């Protein structure tokens, strides 16, 4: 009983009173300030609202080292995740320990003041080994640590001025104290929390429902809407899916709240961290699944953690965490009995048909517009997922022609544009080299630096078109491999990138010399001319290579179209 009352009592927040906040905000205007990254904003929100209690700010050096090495703060309190403020070298050079700085969100609003107690350069390789199990950038948090996080850490107490502003799903966001008050008001003495970063399907509904029954507890669906694993279904879509599933639970026993946590995918340590966070949110029980918060495969193609490591570590520290683990049963569908059952408790196993659709298989079916059966998910959820991930033939994509001047890029690009417009369905934009240089890049010349800026601009516009479901056709020379790769990455975040190397030889381009530029380049009247006095790095693995010598334009455009069809980008 004592423990349950504690779950309802308010937890300590780091905010000052509204009056003081006004005053502090004015004063903080004079302080040096740090613009928080999206991940830091998530961390700060949970620090300020008590979600990361007992932390009172970003970890100092001693606490950090102790957390990294022993999963405990320097005073021995269990805390598995280093919550530090990473900054740039430039900013680090401007500040000293003992100083106060303002922490601002991305619009410049001051959210908090950090009183810097420690400034240090962390050993990131050591942090990766200890916290994530390996210094391997296949792990998303290790990749973040080395490639996104700044080189210097700051630690110190936080004075909270205001929470970060959210404009989406406001009614579904709750602080730990708001949830505690809600549970108290409804008389929910036992609450089992379900952490998730994926859409819920029938199996999840079954298992959460069972978990709640087993623990004789109410159920909190507590999805993460901060940062999850790169490539996950975006949280807007997921929340619409969750709302649909929520109707499937008895409403008097179940609720949902959104958690603005930045996940690290740290498996076992993450599970312990998630447990502490849920305890702070007033829950008494927590569901830990197989491969909880798993980061996927390492660079050798093996799992980072064993499937039950998270459950084991949680069990060892359950008392200290102050929340009881409910272990996740792997639920499978038994066709003959038309119901979900725990995989390890199936009766008459050899005579029944067990059905299962993996995450990968689900994504394939969505991509290809194939059937997703009713036994697997709810029609409302499938509808939402299909709206966000239409089949490839309805998604945006980019065709990126590259080749020497006069190789025939523009001609083929124009032909393919017209053919795609003839098919209809998606808007088509041609970003031709000459056109772009006139409208987007009129101030640029042909140095490596300027060519790179030019190509990145094209890439940015093409990525926006791709994101919004259109077709972008680009036809610049784009002579540098690394720049083409950067553009590919920008676009592949939203849709397919089809690189077409127009491989007409220099001799042929020069023989044709349609614009008379090669002659001028040979005479030295045009400097830095690609192929003559400037490099062209041939693509080594383009999606398609076309050779225009002895082929007519229509044939080349057909080849491109067949490639698009084989990639599923245009309907066959």
Q: Where does this chain bind ligand PPS (CB under 6 A)?
A: 405-406, 410, 433-434, 437, 446, 451, 454-455, 476-479, 515, 517, 526, 528-530, 534
CB of 510 to ligand PPS, least distance (A): 12
Q: Toward ligand PPS, which CB reaches closer, 341 or 534?
A: 534
Least Å distance, CB 497 to ligand PPS, is 16
Question: CA torsion 90→94→98→101, rounded to 10°?
Answer: -80
For every residue of 472-521, which 3-state class applies, written as one string?
EEEECCCCCHHHHHHHHHHHHCCCEEEEEEECCCHHHHHHHCCCCHHHHH
Compare residues 546 and 570 and give the one whose CB is closer to ligand PPS: 546
Do 269 and 80 touch, CB atoms closer than 8 A?
yes
From the number of C-beta atoms within 10 Å of its C-beta (0-12, 13-18, 19+), residue 303 rates as: middle
The Cα–Cα gap between 290 and 343 comes to: 12
DSSP codes joined into one string, 365-415: HHHHT----TTTS-HHHHHHHHHHS--GGGS-EEEEEE--TTSSHHHHHHH
What is the smallest separation between the CB atom of 444 and ligand PPS, expressed in angstroms?
A: 8
Q: Cβ 487 to ligand PPS, closest distance in Å?
A: 11
Based on CB atoms, which residue is closest to ligand PPS, 165 or 435? Answer: 435
Rounded Cα gap, residues 174 and 282, in angstroms:
11
Per-residue three-class SS string for 3-17: HHHHHHCCCCCCECC
Q: What is the DSSP letter of 163?
A: P
Residues tagged active-site: 196-198
For ligand PPS, the closer of residues 331 and 503 by Cβ is 503
Q: In whole angstroms, how close is the CB of 298 to ligand PPS at the nearest point?
A: 38
Burial zone of 100 (CB within 10 Å; 0-12 exposed, 13-18 middle, 19+ buried): middle
Q: Which residues pair with 546 in a beta bridge?
A: 502
Neighbours of 324 (CB within 10 A): 19
Q: Which is nearer to ligand PPS, 212 or 503 (CB)?
A: 503
Diameter of the chain measured on Cα atoms: 91
Q: How far is the CB of 480 from ligand PPS (least distance, A)?
A: 8
Looking at the Cβ atoms of 516 and 550, the one nearer to ligand PPS is 516
């Amino acid at each position: 009983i004592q423990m349950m009352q504690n779950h309802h009592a308010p937890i300590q927040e780091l905010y000052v009173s509204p009056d003081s906040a006004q005053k502090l905000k004015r004063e903080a205007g004079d302080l040096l300030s740090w613009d928080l990254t999206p991940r830091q904003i998530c961390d700060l929100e949970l620090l300020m609202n008590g979600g990361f209690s007992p932390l009172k700010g970003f970890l100092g050096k001693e606490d950090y080292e102790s957390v990294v090495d022993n999963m405990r703060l320097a005073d021995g309190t269990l805390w598995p995740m280093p919550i530090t403020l990473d900054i740039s070298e430039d900013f680090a050079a401007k500040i000293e320990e003992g100083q106060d700085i303002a922490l601002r969100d991305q619009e410049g609003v001051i959210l908090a003041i950090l009183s810097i107690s420690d400034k240090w350069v962390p050993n990131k390789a050591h942090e990766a080994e200890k916290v994530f199990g390996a210094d391997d950038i296949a792990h998303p948090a290790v990749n973040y640590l080395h490639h996104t996080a700044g080189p210097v850490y700051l630690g110190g107490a936080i004075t909270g001025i205001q929470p970060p502003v959210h404009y989406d799903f406001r009614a579904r966001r709750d602080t730990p104290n708001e949830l505690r008050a809600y549970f108290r008001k409804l008389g929910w003495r036992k609450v089992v929390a379900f952490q998730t970063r994926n859409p819920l399907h029938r199996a999840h509904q079954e298992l959460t429902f069972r978990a709640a029954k087993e623990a004789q507890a109410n159920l909190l669906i507590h999805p993460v809407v901060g940062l999850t694993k790169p490539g996950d279904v975006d949280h807007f879509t997921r929340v619409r899916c969750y709302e649909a599933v929520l109707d499937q639970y008895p409403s008097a026993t179940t609720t949902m709240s959104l958690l603005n946590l930045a996940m690290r995918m740290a498996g076992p340590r993450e599970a312990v961290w998630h447990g502490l966070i849920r305890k702070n949110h007033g829950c008494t029980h927590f569901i830990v699944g197989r491969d909880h918060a798993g980061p996927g495969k390492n660079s050798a193609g093996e799992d980072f953690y064993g499937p039950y490591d998270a459950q084991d570590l949680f069990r060892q520290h359950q008392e200290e965490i102050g929340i009881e683990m409910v272990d996740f049963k792997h639920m499978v569908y038994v066709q003959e009995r038309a119901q979900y059952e725990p995989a390890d408790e199936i009766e008459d196993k050899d005579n029944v048909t067990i059905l299962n659709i993996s995450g990968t298989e689900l994504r394939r079916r969505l991509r290809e517009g194939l059937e997703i059966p009713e036994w697997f998910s709810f029609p409302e959820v499938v509808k939402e997922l299909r709206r966000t991930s239409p089949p490839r033939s309805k998604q945006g994509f980019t065709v990126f022609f590259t080749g020497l001047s006069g190789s025939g890029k523009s001609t083929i690009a124009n032909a393919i544009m017209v053919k795609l417009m003839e098919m209809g369905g998606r808007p088509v934009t041609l970003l031709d080299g000459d056109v772009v240089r006139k409208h987007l890049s009129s101030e640029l010349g042909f140095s490596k630096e300027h060519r790179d800026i030019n190509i990145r601009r094209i890439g940015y516009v093409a990525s926006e078109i791709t994101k919004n479901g259109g077709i972008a056709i680009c036809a610049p020379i784009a002579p540098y491999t690394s720049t083409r790769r950067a553009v590919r990455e920008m676009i592949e975040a939203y849709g397919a990138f089809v690189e077409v190397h127009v491989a007409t030889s220099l001799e042929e381009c020069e023989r044709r010399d349609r614009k008379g530029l090669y002659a001028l380049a040979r005479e030295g009247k045009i400097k830095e001319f690609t192929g003559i006095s400037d490099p062209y790095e041939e693509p080594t693995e383009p999606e398609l290579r076309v050779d225009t010598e002895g082929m007519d334009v229509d044939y080349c455009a057909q080849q491109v179209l067949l490639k698009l069809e084989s990639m599923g980008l245009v309907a066959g």
